[in-house]
Chains A and B, each alone.
Chain A
Amino acid sequence: MQPATERAQLLEIRGLTKGFPGVQALDHVDFTLHAGEIHGLLGENGAGKSTLIKVLTGVFRRDAGTIRLDAQEIAARDPADALSLGIGTVYQEVNLLPNLSVAENLFIGRQPHRFGLVRTGEMRRRASDLLAGYGLDIDVADPLGSFSVAVQQIIAIARAVDLSAKVLILDEPTASLDAQEVETLFGILQRLKSRGIGIVFVTHFLDQVYALCDRITVLRNGRLVGSRPIVDLPRIELVSMMLGRELAAEALHRNHCTAVTGEPLVAFKAYGKKRLVEPFDLAVRSGEVVGLAGLLGSGRTETAKLIFGIERADSGQAFVDGKPVRIASPRDAARLRFGFTPEDRKTEGIVAELSIRENIILALQAQRGWLQPLPRSKQDEIANRFIKLLDIRTPDAEKPIGLLSGGNQQKALLARWLATEPRFLILDEPTRGIDVGAHAEIIRLIERLCEDGLALLVISSELEEIASYSDRVVVLRDRQHVRELSGSDVSADTIMTTIASH
């Protein structure tokens, strides 16, 4: 295989600049993509990856700079225009139409037709042929929404490639896929690469970067940090390119609190709900972090929802301070001074249009009831205190929270519950979709909260991470709490073997 640099330059971006009020999102960024190359685009949240992609695909206008595709200068007006120029994009949340058939999704806007009428049979035949090339044998007349996200993503890729076949941009395509699906996807990308398509791959997973990419470009704070072939790039150097500082290898390793003893703050006995989670026993003490580990769909989030009263338990009993309590709704849970930051930050966590201040005081205000509004001065005081305390990066508390990066949104959500002075906090995937820098900060925060005497229940798919800060780890499999690890058993390896064992 010849080195990527000797191949034809497919896409050449020079001096790309784009500013938003208050933020320089892209500052003279260069980017070069060769034909038949998989190019990782990396950077922390807020580094400018999304903006680069959006300028490239015509969602945003650039302020300055040139974009050349096949040595021709281009300026896409909108994503459809970009597609017709030869730049296709597949997003993490598949942007296809679940209500239309697979065939219609593949061919919308270019359906084979005769006398103004769509030739449905012909369209379906072509769709089947197209998908067969990707190893998919499905009924293309079925609505897209009836297939799994992984299949939908492959369909989205097939569509983009069939439409443009030059540059394919994948924006965090693997975030919602399981390991086997990722492998299938990678196989497809390798095949597309060998056909000479240039692929831009945006991801947070460094393993995948090393497994798949030929070359990487790192952005930080809207500036180009560097573009390097992946083969001679040590992992630690890549991380330091992304962070702009040396990340101590120990950053993730917590000095475990001295063994926590005493009565549990919260306890659950034979707590469960049919078809959701099998009855389980669980106890968390003050100053203790309990991790919930397991594969996607193993019952982790379901456990959290049950504990926080989002789902109502149909068996067992909950105790706080040794006294039996009833948790039938999130209001009940909040009254017991529980807090919960959900997994799906965007739809279940933040209220995107409201300001950071309003988002932070939400839970506290809800507890007071709407008849006793928090005075504005108090609101400002709380918001500013937590912005400072948790280092939420924003010009001021009045910025809509939707405009913040994922890591800062997560911190604001934490602040929302911390403002209510909780005793027990449930964090569902607190570090998902967050860049490496903010990641370490969130973990440090978790440790600090624990030292402050909070009881914490943390769910995470990242085993190393969960092993590093948990005092105990509960492993789930098939909606069942299968084993509780403590002491020296708390390690990524043990968790993995427990998940894998039968």
Chain B
Amino acid sequence: MTRRHLPVLITLAVFIVGYLICLAQFPSFASTRVIGNLLTDNAFLGIVAVGMTFVILSGGIDLSVGSVIAFTGVFLAVAIERYGLNPYLAFLLVLGIAALFGAGMGLLIHTFQIPAFIVTLAGMFLARGLCFVLTTDSIPINAPAYGQITDIAVSLPGGGRLTFIAMIMLATFGAGIVLAHYTRFGANVYALGGNRASAELMGVPVGKTTIRIYMLSSFLAALAGIVFSFYTSAGYSLAATGVELDTIAAVVIGGTLLTGGYGTIIGTLVGVLIQGLIQTYITFEGTLSSWWTKIAIGALLFAFIVLQRGLSAASLRAR
């Protein structure tokens, strides 16, 4: 029981230690304002990481999410600004398109037994390319709906705000937890990651599950793209490059095994928050280059992968 939860407990410990270090240096870290901003600023990463957790749990990978986020932004900008589409309708439309896109990738992965790495790499180029087909410029979004949505927030005691965006992320995590641990779909995802061949022999609907996993990932990437467009109020083809790698890092730091089968959604939330914490610390520090975030993430990622190897080797020995 404890061994199974060890990776997530370690992640949590890292977060708590990190938070305490920040707190010791900058007492204002205790304020709800910082915490609220931490949630808001990392909302898009968190949302896309939920989808990525499902993908990695199933033993796959989705490299297309960064491009899907950019595509979403560009699509929204073009649809709302150039064609005067209702923003809410545009949201629904882009979520639907992304879901279809993901389903297509899942279908390819399953039908032709192509590694997810290759298919989603192709998806990554395709989605990024489609951005440039729509426009090469950065198009600002001036729709009043944008201002209204970003203004929705619950005031927290101490001057902080829990924004609507942060609430979307937390709700996504809540839904992800339920989906992963309390539904048949969730069990099937873990089954695929455990051993695909066995899962098939046991009657797990492998094809349907694979398609749904990538559909979910792309859908959440589009949702993250919508949230991302709230930050920037613009659609730009080169936005969110490399986000897929940040996402994978958050999932792995959150205790999910890259080989699939083991991990939790809640761990991913902590993984995302650790990334956010490092970012915030560097902002507070003021003198450090923001690239130190990447260096810290790299070091953490490395440590966690070594830890995972160690743990799985230990559990093999224990048998």
Contacts and interface: CB of A to CB of B under 8 A. Distances in A.
Nearest to A78: B200
Contact of A80 (B187, B195, B203): B203
B191 A97 contact: yes
A117 B187 contact: no
B319 A146 contact: yes
Given A99-B262, A117-B178, A118-B182, A109 B201 contact: no
A86 to B, nearest CB: 13
B188 interface: yes
Interface in A68-101: 78-80, 83-84, 89, 95-100
Contact of A108 (B178, B188, B193, B261): B188
Given A99-B190, A146-B319, A80 B202 contact: yes
A486 interface: no
A79 B184 contact: no
B197 interface: yes
B1 A95 contact: no
Interface string A172-208: 0000000000000000000000000000000000000
B36 interface: no
A142 B319 CA distance: 13
- Most chain B beta-carbon contacts within 10 A, residue among A109, A111, A116: A109
A382 B184 CA distance: 54
B48 to A, nearest CB: 24
A143 interface: yes
B111 interface: no
B199 A97 contact: yes
B4 interface: yes
Contacts of A89: 201
A108 B182 contact: no
A89 B200 CA distance: 13
A59 to B, nearest CB: 9
A114 to B, nearest CB: 10
A176 to B, nearest CB: 13
B202 A96 contact: yes
A104 B193 CA distance: 14
Query: How many interface residues does chain B have, given as a range?
Result: 20 to 34
A367 interface: no
A87 B237 CA distance: 55
B204 interface: yes
Residue among B182, B184, B262 with the highest chain A CB neighbour number at 10 A:
B184
Interface in B179-196: 182-184, 186-188, 190-191, 193-195
B261 A99 contact: yes
Contacts of A80: 200-204
A109 B204 contact: yes
B198 A96 contact: yes
A84 B205 CA distance: 13
Contacts of A100: 187, 190-191, 194
Contact of A83 (B203, B205, B261): B203
A120 interface: yes
Contacts of B201: 79-80, 89, 95
Contacts of A120: 182
A253 interface: no
B198 to A, nearest CB: 4
B182 A145 contact: no
A113 interface: yes
Contacts of B195: 95, 97-98
Contacts of B202: 80, 95-97, 105, 108-109, 159
Interface residues of A, number: 28
B184 A118 contact: yes
A361 B123 CA distance: 42
Contacts of A109: 184, 188, 202-205
A117 B1 contact: no
B198 A104 contact: no
A97 B206 CA distance: 14
A159 B203 CA distance: 12
A159 B204 CA distance: 14
Nearest to A149: B319
Interface in A17-59: none
A108 B191 contact: yes
A108 B199 CA distance: 9
Contacts of A79: 200-201, 203
A50 to B, nearest CB: 14
A98 B193 CA distance: 10
Nearest to B257: A99
Contact of B187 (A111, A141, A146): A111
B194 A108 contact: no
Nearest to A118: B182
A113 B202 CA distance: 19
B198 A95 contact: yes
A377 to B, nearest CB: 36
A108 B204 contact: yes
A145 B198 contact: no
B187 A108 contact: yes
Contacts of A142: 1
A108 B205 CA distance: 11
Contact of A98 (B187, B194, B205): B194
Interface in A341-382: none
B203 A97 contact: no
Given A99-B261, A99-B262, A145 B319 contact: yes
Contacts of B203: 79-80, 83-84, 108-109
A159 B198 CA distance: 13
Interface of B: 1, 4, 178, 182-184, 186-188, 190-191, 193-195, 197-205, 261-262, 315, 319
Given A95-B198, A118-B186, 14 more contacts: A79-B200, A79-B201, A80-B200, A80-B202, A95-B195, A97-B191, A97-B198, A97-B261, A99-B190, A100-B191, A109-B203, A141-B1, A146-B319, A159-B202
26 contacts: A78-B200, A79-B203, A80-B204, A83-B203, A95-B197, A97-B198, A97-B261, A99-B193, A100-B187, A100-B194, A104-B187, A108-B188, A108-B203, A109-B202, A109-B203, A111-B187, A117-B178, A117-B182, A118-B182, A118-B184, A118-B186, A118-B187, A120-B182, A145-B315, A145-B319, A146-B319
Interface of A: 78-80, 83-84, 89, 95-100, 104-105, 108-109, 111, 113, 116-118, 120, 141-143, 145-146, 159
Enumerate the 7 nearest inter-chain pairs by beta-carbon distance, A residue then B residue, closest first. A80-B203, A97-B194, A99-B261, A99-B194, A95-B198, A117-B182, A79-B201
